Structure 1
Amino acid sequence: MSNFEERDNQNERKPLIYYWGLVMLGLFLLNIFIVPWAGSRQVQEVDYNTFVTMLGEGQVTAVEVQEQDNQIVFAGENGVYKTGMVEDPMLTERLLNADVEFSGQIIEQASPLVAFLVSWVLPMLLMYLFWRFISKRMTERMGGGEGSNAMSFGMTKSNAKVYVQSTEGISFDDVAGQDEAKESLSEIVDYMHNPDKYQSVGAKMPTGVLLVGPPGTGKTMLARAVAGEANVPFFSISGSEFVEMFAGAGAARVRDLFKQAKEKAPCIVFIDEIDAVGKKRSNQAIGNDEREQTLNQLLTEMDGFEGNTGVMILAATNQPEALDNALLRPGRFDRQVRVELPDLIGREEILKVHAKNIQHESNVDFNKIARMASGASGAELANIVNEAALRAVREGRQKANQEDFQESIEVVIAGAEKKNAILSDKEKMIVSYHEVGHALVAALQTHSAPVEKITIIPRTSGALGYTMQVSEGNDNLLSKEQLMDKLAVYAGGRAAEEVVFGSVTTGASNDIEQMTKIARAMITQYGMDNDIGMVTFEQNQSQYLSNGTNSSASPEMQSKIDRAIVELIQERYDYAKQLLTDNRTLLDSLSQHLYETETITGAEFMEILEKENKEDIVDETPVTT
C-alpha cells in the first residue's frame, strides 16, 4: 500500500457549474420581480365590449379619447388599456354616469424606451456585472493576471495529484516479484541522487520510461517506489484526464502539468494509462482532433529542446502496440520496462510482502500457495491474502492459516461456495463422475500436473464443481505432449458422462471452450499440425489484453484449419473415453467416494488410487497427431 501523503497547494475550487447556477438564479429572480413590474406599465389591448363592461362595473378610473389615433386609452385597477373607437352616441353619457374623467392628457403611459431598458438592457447589465465578478474570482484562484482567461478555469488546470514522501514512504522493498524492472529503474534513482557521476561521462538521464505489462502487475506501485527511493515530488495523473470535450483544453492541461513539474524539479511525473491520450494518429478525414492536439502538445513538452530540466516522465500502459510511434521514439520514451506476470518465486515473494499486513500462522506454506496461484498477477495475489484474512475473521480466528489461503484462491478462481444450491441425487452423481473423469485422466498421463483438489460443491461463478491441478514448478515452455494431455484432461469430464450414463450434459461447455482455444492455438500459432505446417495464421490483437486474434488465413485455408481443430479435439476425446473405459473400476470407486464426501484432496485422491488393484490400471496409450 502507498504511504505517500497528498499535498494540496491550492484552495478548494468550486466547479464552474456552481457559478452558472448563481447566474440562472439571478435571472429567475429578475423575471419574477422586475420584469412583471415593467410589464405592468405596458398598455394592454382589449375589445370595445370589455371597455363598456369595465366602465359599467366601475373598474375604469380615467379615459382619454385619442381621435387622431382612432383609439380610446383608459386606466383600470390593474393597468392601462386601449381599445379601438367605434360609433357610439352613448359614449359621453356612459362616461358621465360612471363619473370618470375623460378630458386632456390624464393617463401616464409607460415610455417605450423605459420598457426597453427594463426588459432588455437591465438584465444584460446585471449579467455582465455578475460575470465580471465571477471572472475576477476565478482569475484570482488561478493566480493569473489581467490577461487570464476565465473560461480556462477548471479546464486548463492540470488535475495531477502531488505526493511527497512521508517518513514511511514506499520503496523498492515494498515491491516484490519484479526484480528485473526494479534493477532497470534503480538507475533512474541513482541518477537523481548522483547526477554528476553520469554527467561527467556525458550520459543523460532518459526523458521518459514506459512501464508496460498486463493489468495488476504493479506498474503504478513501481512508479511510486521510484519517487520514494529518489525522495522527490511525485505527480500522478491518468491519461484520460487530459481528454476534454473543449477544444484546446487537453493541450492546456499538458502545458500546466509540465509547468508545475519544472517548478518542483527534480521530480517525477507519472501518467497512468497513457494509451488514452497517446494512441496512434490517423490520417483519416474524420478523427479525434482534440486528442491529437493533446498528444502533439505532450510530444512537444517531451522533446527536450530546453535541455535536462530534472523532470522524469514515467508512464504505464497495457497496450504498447496502440501507442503512436512518435511517442515511443528515443528522446521521448527512451526506455521500456517490462512488468510481466510474476513467476513462482516472484509470486511467493509477493504473498510474503502482503502477508506482513495481516496476522497469520507461522507454518503457512507460501510456496504451495504460489504454486496453486499460477498465472496470478500481483493485484490478484494481494486480493488472495486479503480474502484469507477475511475468512479467518468469519471463522472466528485471530490468525489466517493454510486452509484460509487455499480457500481464498478457490474464491478468486471459482467464486464462493453456494450455501443454498440444491442438486438432485442424479445431478450430484453426474457432477461427481464428470470431475473424477478430469482427475483420473490427468493421473493416468505422464505430462499432466498433479491433482490438488476435487470438489462438487457449487460455486457462485456458476460452476457445479471443479478439479484443481497444481504444477510442481514453472512451465515457461509447453511441449506438444503437454498440450495434448491438457486436451485429454479437459475432455475427461464429458467422456466420463458418456461412458457411465450413455448421454452427455451441458456441464462441459467451459471444457469445450478451453479445448477449442488450445487446439486453435496449436494449429494457427504454434505450428503443431503436420498438415497445416509451421505457419502463423492468427495474431493476438493485444500482447497483454485478451482482445481476440486477427486471422490472416484465406477462406480455403480457414476451412482446412477448422477441420484440423475438429479432428484434433475428437481424437483427444476418443483417447480420454477409451482411457476411462479401460479403468472403469477406478472411475466408479472414486466417483462414489466424491459423491459421499463432496470434496477430495490431492493426497486422498492418490491414496484411493493406490489402494485399487494396480494391475487393473491400463497404461497411457501413445499420443497421436
Structure 2
Amino acid sequence: MSKYGKEIFIGTTPVVIAFLIYMGVNIVPIVFMTAILGIFFYMSRARGGMGVGGSSERKSRSRPPVYMTFDDIGGQDRAKRELREALDFLIRADDIQRLGIRPLKGILLTGPPGTGKTLLAKAAAHYTNSVFLAASGSEFVEMYVGVGASRIRDLFKEARSRAAKDNKDSAIVFIDEIDVIGGKRDGGQHREYDQTLNQLLTEMDGIHTAQTPRVLVIAATNRKEMLDSALLRPGRFDRQIEVDLPDKKGRLHILRIHAKNKPLAEDVDLEIVARETFQFSGAQLESVMNEAAIYAMREEAEAISQKHLTLAVDKVMLGEKTDRESTQEERERVALHELGHAIAAEVLRPRSVAQVALSPRGKALGYVRHNPQQDQYLYTKEQIEHQIMIALGGAVAEEMFYGSRSTGSRNDFEQALGMVRTMMDAGLTRLGIVDREMATKERLMEENRAILEELTEATRKLLEERRPVFEQSLELLIREETLSGDEFRKLLQQCDKKSIA
C-alpha cells in the first residue's frame, strides 16, 4: 500500500457507500463481508508478526551467535572433550558414510544452572562451521493446541533453509530448558505439551544420513530426571554430556578469563579466590569478578585488590550488606549464635575460621567465614558428623545463654537434616545399607532424631567447656562487628590454657 493509501481508502469508502444507497443497492451483505475480511486480514497480520514462524520470531532466532570457541570457555575440560568427539561425527561426513556409521541426531547437556551449557552449544556451532539457531522450551508452550508443534516444524525448516542459503553443510538447533516440552507423558490432559514433544520426536527421527544439510539438535536441562524416556533413547539424544560444577583448576581458568579485561593489583592472587569458591558455578565466578570491579569503582581505586575480591565472594555467597537495624538483644543473640558456629568449627577443624562477622548480609544477620579448604568429594562418617555439629553450634549456643532457640537457626537445621539424609543414603547410620523409600517413615524419623540428639549433646559439651570464650569474645565482637580468625584463635587458646591450668 502506498504512503497515503490508507487515508485514500478511508476517505473514499463513505462516498462509495452513499452512492450505493442512492442507487438503491442493499449494502448490508457488502458491509458484513467487508467486516469479516477485515477481521481475517488483521488476525493474519498479527499472527504473521508474532505467531508461529513469524517474522519477528525468525529475526530473533536468526540473529548470528556471539563468536565463541571452546578456548573461551573456562573449565569443563571433560565436557568439552566429550562434545568435540561427538561433533567430529558431524564434521567427518565422508568417514561416517564409508564406515556405515549412523550420524548423531542429538546431544543432551545436563548439569546445574550457570555451568556453561549454552556457551558450549555456541562453541559447537563455531567448531563445526554450522548455522546456529537457539530457542527456549518456553517458546513452544501456548494455550492453543498445535501451536507448539507448528513452531517445532518451523524451527527445523528454518534451520535447513538457512544452512542451504549460507552454503553450510550442517545446522545446529539449540533448545534450552528442554524439560519444559520434553517432560514425561503421564496420560494427563496436557495435550499441547504432548503434541509439541511428539513433533520434536518426529523431526529428530526425520534426520537421515543422506539428508543435506544435516541438522544436529543440542538441548540443555538441569532436570534430566524429568525428561520423557522416548527422548533419551538411542537414535535421538545419542550423547548425554554432564556439565558439572568446575573443580579448583577449572575455577582458576574461569577467573582468569573474566579478569582479562579488568585491571588487577599486584597483590591479587586468583588461586586464593579459586580455593574460596568451592562449588561455585561459572556464572557465579563471573559475578565475583564483576562485583569486585564494582567495589573498586565505589572506592575510586585504580585496580581491583584482593580485598575487593574477598568482599565480592561474600556478596555472591551471602548477598549484599543491608542497613537492617537490630536491637541490642538481637545483636547479642546473633553474636553468641555465630560464636557457637566459630568455636565448634575451630575445635573440630583447627585453623578453619577466617572471620566472625556481625554485619548483616542478605537474609543473614551474621556469618562465619571459613578459610579455603581443599576440594573434597568423599566424606567419612566422622567428617559429616563434624559438619553437623558445626551447623548445630549456633542453636546450642543460644540455648546455653537464653534457654531457647530462635528462627535464626532454620537454615542451620536444614543443612543438618540434609547431611543426615546423606549419611542414610550412604549407609553410615545404624540402619546400615537401606533404601529410604522402602523403610518406614517412623523408623527413619527415629534414626534421624537419635543422630541429631546425640550430636546436639556432643556439641553442647564441647561449647560448655569453652564458655569463657563466649564471655570474652561477645563484647569485642559487638563493638568491632568483626573478629579475624587470628584474633579469635588467640582468645580460644587463652581460655584453653586457663582451663588446663
TM-score normalised by length of structure 1:
0.70
1:476 partner SS: coil
Unaligned regions of 5+ residues in structure 1, if any?
1-21, 42-109, 139-149, 539-551, 619-625
Question: Residues 38-57 of structure 1: matches in 2 within 5 Å?
Answer: none
**What SS does the aligned partner of 2:62 have?**
strand
**Structure 1 pair 513/151, CA: closer, same or farther in 2 (3 Å)?**
closer
Alignment-derived partner of residue 526 in structure 1: 426
Q: CA deviation at 1:133?
A: 6.3
Letter of the 1:298 counterpart: L
1:183 aligns with 2:81: yes
Q: Structure 2: which amino acid aligns with 1:512?
A: F
Distance 1:337 1:512 in 2: 34
Is 1:535 the counterpart of 2:443? The answer is no
Equivalent position SS for 1:429: helix
Match of 2:30 in 1: 122
Whole-angstrom CA distance in 2 between matches of 1:223 and 1:187: 14
Give, in angstroms, the shift of residue 503 of structure 1.
4.4
Aligned to 1:570: 453
Residue 181 of structure 1 deviates from its aligned partner by 0.7
Question: What code does the residue aligned with 2:325 have?
Answer: I
Inter-partner Cα distance in structure 1 for 2:267 and 2:181: 48
2:355–2:485 Cα contact (<8 Å) kept: yes
Match 1:437 to one of 336, 340, 358: 340
1:598 aligns with 2:481: yes
Q: CA deviation at 1:315?
A: 0.6
Pair 1:480 & 2:381 matched: yes
Q: Does the 8 Å CA contact 2:276/2:373 hold for their aligned counterparts?
A: no
After TM superposition, the structure 1 stretch with the greater mean CA deviation from structure 2, 190-199 or 232-241, is 190-199
The residue that corresponds to 1:217 in the other structure is 115
- Give how far 1:128 is off: 4.9
Aligned equivalent of 1:374, options 278, 281, 302: 278
Q: State how far apart, in whole Å, the 2-side matches of 1:567 and 1:512 are.
A: 15
Distance 1:592 1:212, change over 3 A: same
**Paired residues of 2:89 and 2:104 also in contact (CA < 8 A):** no
Kindly tell me: are residues 362 and 315 of structure 1, through their superposed partners in 2, closer, same or farther at Cα, counting changes over 3 Å? farther
Cα deviations by residue, 1:181-237 (Å, 9 ceiling, x for unpaired):
100111244444443344443334311100011111110011001112223221111
Whole-angstrom CA distance in 2 between matches of 1:414 and 1:242: 36
Q: CA deviation at 1:585?
A: 2.4
SS at match of 1:278: coil
Q: 1:432 to 1:238 in 2, by over 3 A?
A: same
Q: CA deviation at 1:307?
A: 2.6
Structure-2 change in CA distance of 1:131 and 1:393 (3 Å): same
Where in structure 2 are the equivalents of 1:372-411 lying within 5 Å? Answer: 372-411=276-315
- For the 8 Å contact 1:384–1:412, the answer to whether it is kept is yes
1:613 CA drift (Å): 4.7
- The Cα offsets for residues 24-66 of structure 1, whole Å up to 9 and x where unpaired, read as x98xx99xx79x999xx9xxxxxxxxxxxxxxxxxxxxxxxxx
The whole-number CA distance in structure 2 between the counterparts of 1:230 and 1:171 is 11
Residue 288 (str. 1) matches residue 196 (str. 2):
no
Q: Which has the larger radius of gyration?
A: 1
Query: Residue 222 of structure 2 corresponds to which residue in structure 1?
Result: 318
Gaps of 5+ in 2: 1-5, 164-168
CA distance in 1, matches of 2:190, 2:404: 55
- 1:442 maps to amino acid: A
Percent identity (aligned): 37
Distance between the aligned counterparts of 2:326 and 2:184, measured in 1? Answer: 53
1:587 alignment partner, SS class: helix
Q: What is the identity, as a one-letter code, of the residue corresponding to 2:394?
A: G
Q: Please identify, of 310-319 and 300-309, the stretch whose mean Cα deviation from structure 2 is larger.
A: 300-309
Q: Look up the equivalent residue of 1:493 and give its one-letter code.
A: G
Q: Report the Cα offset of residue 454 of structure 1.
A: 0.9
User: In the superposition, relative to structure 1, how do residues 254 and 449 fare at CA in structure 2: closer, same or farther (>3 Å)?
Assistant: farther
How many Å separate the matches in 2 of 1:220 and 1:352? 20
The offset of 1:570, in angstroms, is 1.8
Please state if 1:452 is matched with 2:354.
yes
The match for 1:491 is: 392
Cα 1:497/1:242, change in 2 over 3 Å: closer
**Structure with the higher helix share, 1 or 2:** 2
**Does the CA-based 8 Å contact 1:449-1:472 persist in structure 2?**
no
Shift of 1:573: 1.5
* 1:325 to 1:308, Cα distance in 2 relative to 1, 3 A: farther
Instruction: Give the partner amino acid of 2:278.
Output: S
Instruction: Check 1:391–1:516 CA distance in 2 against 1; reply closer, same or farther (3 A cut).
Output: same
Q: Is the 8 A contact 1:527 1:536 kept in 2?
A: no
Which residue does the alignment assign to 1:587? Answer: 470
Q: What secondary structure does 1:452 align onto?
A: strand
- Of 366-375 and 505-514, deviating more is 505-514
Equivalent residue, structure 2, for 1:82: none
SS at structure 2 position matched to 1:267: strand
Does the Cα contact within 8 Å between 1:163 and 1:233 map onto a contact in 2?
no
State the one-letter code of the partner of 2:140: F
CA distance in 1, matches of 2:145, 2:363: 47
Closer, same or farther: CA 449–558 of 1 in aligned 2, 3 Å: farther
Whether the aligned pair in 2 keeps the contact of 1:165 and 1:232 (CA below 8 Å) is: no
| Conservation of the 8 A alpha-carbon contact between 2:90 and 2:104 | no
What are the superposed Cα offsets for residues 229-259 of structure 1, whole Å, 9 maximum, x if unpaired?
2232211111221223333222222222212
Q: Distance in 1 between matches of 2:337 and 2:116?
A: 38
